[in-house]
């Protein structure tokens, strides 16, 4: 008994050491390709209006750095917004204006490599902001502004700047601050080639919402946690190969 409470006794002559029950391992899931004029819109809800501890986790494959673009955004002077800079770096913005308005601050990550999938996580724990890239803590700062909630939708692949061009996969929003161990474990699970195990691990860590972007058609972007389904806007390319470690 793995829990030690009620050990049993084998009776007779069973055959020990046989292959156990297994589940399929999928090395490559699916993702959605965005071309700058399509996105996912998720209506605002109390579970997404996060002003305390939180984590935003996703996989990105930037294909165009010609302008500033938003892979994930709610409000840059509110709960938060991610902007991909022309340098390839990601900026996380948050602020106390309660919308896309004045009163914000930001934290920059290291540059992402164009055409390559990267696992990125922004963690807010108290007043501490930390970027993680590919399972490792990257940059951090102590925030000076207290986020104020907005009524704006959460957008995947769009925001207050230009729409995203590239791949987006496995978008998860948590109302907790993921630990460095959890983030590393997530990254290593997909790096091992186990797409199924990755999804199970993310769900076990309790996100508010988890859009795997495995959808092969619109209009609904399925939330694996069922709380906040989104709607595809425009004509994204469904059924693309999902995030992998190049």
Q: How many residues does the chain have?
A: 246
pLDDT at 242: 95
Average pLDDT of span 167-192: 97
Residue 245 banded pLDDT, cuts 50, 70, 90: confident
Average pLDDT of span 163-173: 98
Query: 11, exposed or middle or buried, with CB in 10 Å at 0-12, 13-18, 19+?
Result: exposed
Q: What values do phi and psi take at 217, rounded to 5? A: -165, 160
pLDDT at 47: 98
Contact (CB, 8 A) for 243 and 119 = yes
pLDDT at 22: 47
Residue 78 banded pLDDT, cuts 50, 70, 90: very high
CA separation for the pair 160, 157 (Å, rounded): 11
Kindly report, residue by residue over 10-65, the tens digit of the pLDDT: 787 777 665 555 444 445 689 999 999 999 999 999 999 999 999 999 999 999 99
pLDDT at 130: 98
pLDDT at 25: 47
Short-list 216, 181, 50, 232, CA closest to 124: 50
pLDDT at 23: 46
Output the pTM of the full model.
0.89
Contact (CB, 8 A) for 95 and 105 = yes
pLDDT at 214 over 90: yes
pLDDT at 175 over 80: yes
For all residues of the chain together, what is the average pLDDT? 94
For every residue of 171-222, DSSP letters joined together read EEEESS---HHHHHHHHHHHHTT-HHHHHHHHHHT--SEEE----SS-SEE-
Other CB atoms closer than 10 Å to residue 114's CB: what's the count? 12
CA separation for the pair 81, 104 (Å, rounded): 11
Kindly report, residue by residue over 83-141, the tens digit of the pLDDT: 999 999 999 999 999 999 999 999 999 999 999 999 999 999 999 999 999 999 999 99
pLDDT at 105: 98
pLDDT at 11: 82
Q: What burial letters (b/e) apply to 198-208, b meaning 16+ CB within 10 Å?
A: bbebbeebebb
Contact (CB, 8 A) for 81 and 160 = yes
Token pair of 214 as six digits: 């495995």
Tokens 């020990």 locate to 16
Cα torsion angle, 102, 104, 110, 116, sign: negative
pLDDT at 162: 98
pLDDT at 223 over 90: yes
């Amino acid at each position: 008994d793995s829990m030690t409470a009620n050990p049993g006794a084998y009776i007779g002559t069973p055959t020990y050491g046989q292959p156990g029950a297994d589940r399929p391992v999928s090395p490559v899931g699916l993702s959605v390709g965005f071309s700058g004029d399509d996105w996912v819109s998720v209506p605002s809800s109390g579970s997404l209006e996060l002003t305390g501890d939180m984590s935003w986790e996703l996989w990105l494959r930037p294909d165009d750095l010609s302008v500033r673009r938003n892979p994930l955004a709610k409000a840059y002077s509110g709960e938060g917004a991610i902007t991909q800079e022309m340098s390839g770096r990601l900026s996380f913005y948050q602020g106390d204006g309660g919308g896309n308005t004045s009163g914000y601050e930001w934290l920059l990550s290291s540059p992402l490599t164009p055409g390559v999938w990267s696992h990125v996580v922004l963690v807010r724990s108290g007043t501490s902001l930390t970027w993680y890239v590919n399972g490792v803590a990257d940059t951090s700062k102590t925030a000076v502004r207290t986020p104020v909630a907005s009524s704006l939708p959460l957008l995947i692949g769009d925001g207050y700047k230009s729409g995203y061009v590239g791949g987006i996969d496995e978008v998860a929003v948590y109302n907790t601050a993921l630990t460095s161990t959890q983030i590393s474990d997530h990254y290593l699970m997909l790096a091992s080639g186990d797409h199924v195990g990755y999804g199970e691990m993310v769900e076990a860590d309790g996100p508010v919402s988890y859009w795997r972007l495995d959808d092969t058609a619109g209009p609904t972007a399925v939330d694996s946690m069922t709380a906040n389904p989104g709607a595809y806007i425009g004509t994204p390319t469904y059924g693309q190969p999902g995030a992998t470690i190049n």
